[in-house]
Amino acid sequence: MKIMDITLLLNNQSKEPLYVQLYQHIKKEIMNGKYAANTRLPSIRTLAGHLHISRNTVELAYQQLIAEGYVLSKPRSGLYVMALQLDTLSLQRPKNEALLEEREHKLTPVKYDFRYGDVDAAHFPLATWRKLSHQCLLPEQSSLYSYGESQGDRALRLQLSSYLYNSRGVNSSAEQIILGAGVQYLTGLLCGLLRSVTGTAIAMEDPGYDGLRTVFHHHGLQVYPIGLERDGLNIDMLYNSPCRAVYITPSHQFPMGTVMSLAKRMRLLQWAEDKNGLIIEDDYDSEFRYVGKPIPSLQSLDTHHRTVYLSTFSKCLLPSIRIAYLVLPPSLLKLHHEHNYRVFDQTVSTHHQQTLELFMRKGHWEAHIRRMRKIYHKKQDALIEAITQLMGSKTTIIGQDAGLHILLRVHNGMNEEQLIHAAEMEGVRVYAVSPFWASAAEAEASMVQVGYGGLEIEDMSKGVQALHRAWFPG
Least confident of 118-122, 334-338, 425-429: 118-122
| Last-in-domain residue among 362, 384, 409 | 362
Q: Which of 127, 144, 146, 124 is nearest to 136 (CA)?
A: 144
Same structural domain, 204 and 316: yes
- Count: domains in the chain: 3
Same structural domain, 384 and 358: no
Same structural domain, 153 and 185: yes
Mean pLDDT value of segment 395-401:
91
Same structural domain, 229 and 179: yes
Same structural domain, 355 and 373: no
Same structural domain, 197 and 341: yes
Pair 115, 454: CB distance under 8 Å: yes
For residue 358, give the CATH number of its domain.
3.40.640.10
Q: Which of 328, 321, 251, 329 is nearest to 283 (CA)?
A: 251
Whether the per-residue pLDDT at 284 is higher than 90: the answer is no
State whether residue 204 is helix, strand or coil.
strand
Highest mean pLDDT among 52-66, 309-323, 353-367: 353-367
Same structural domain, 376 and 312: no
Same structural domain, 138 and 165: yes
Whether the per-residue pLDDT at 91 is higher than 60: the answer is no
Q: Which pLDDT does position 52 carry in this prediction?
A: 86
Mapping DSSP onto H, E and C, the string for 310-365 reads EEECCCCCCHHHCCEEEECCHHHHHHHHHCCHHHCCCCCCHHHHHHHHHHHHCCHH
Same structural domain, 135 and 182: yes
pLDDT class of 84 with cuts at 50, 70, 90: confident
Does a structural domain hold residue 4?
Answer: no
Does a structural domain hold residue 40?
Answer: yes
**Which pLDDT tens digit goes with each residue over 26-82?**
998 888 888 888 888 888 888 888 888 899 898 998 888 888 888 888 888 888 888
Beta bridge partners of 73: 79
Same structural domain, 45 and 116: no
Whether the per-residue pLDDT at 229 is higher than 90: the answer is yes
Same structural domain, 176 and 311: yes
Whether the per-residue pLDDT at 407 is higher than 90: the answer is yes
CA angle 311, 316, 321 (to 5 degrees): 80
Instruction: Determine the structural domain holding residue 188 and report its residue range.
Output: 126-362
Same structural domain, 259 and 214: yes
Does a structural domain hold residue 231?
Answer: yes
| Whole-angstrom distance, CA of residue 307 vs CA of residue 205 | 16
| Last-in-domain residue among 61, 88, 115 | 88
| Last-in-domain residue among 362, 377, 405 | 362
Mean pLDDT value of segment 354-367:
95
> Residue 413 to residues 140, 204, 444: CA-CA distances in angstroms?
65, 30, 12
Does a structural domain hold residue 396?
Answer: yes
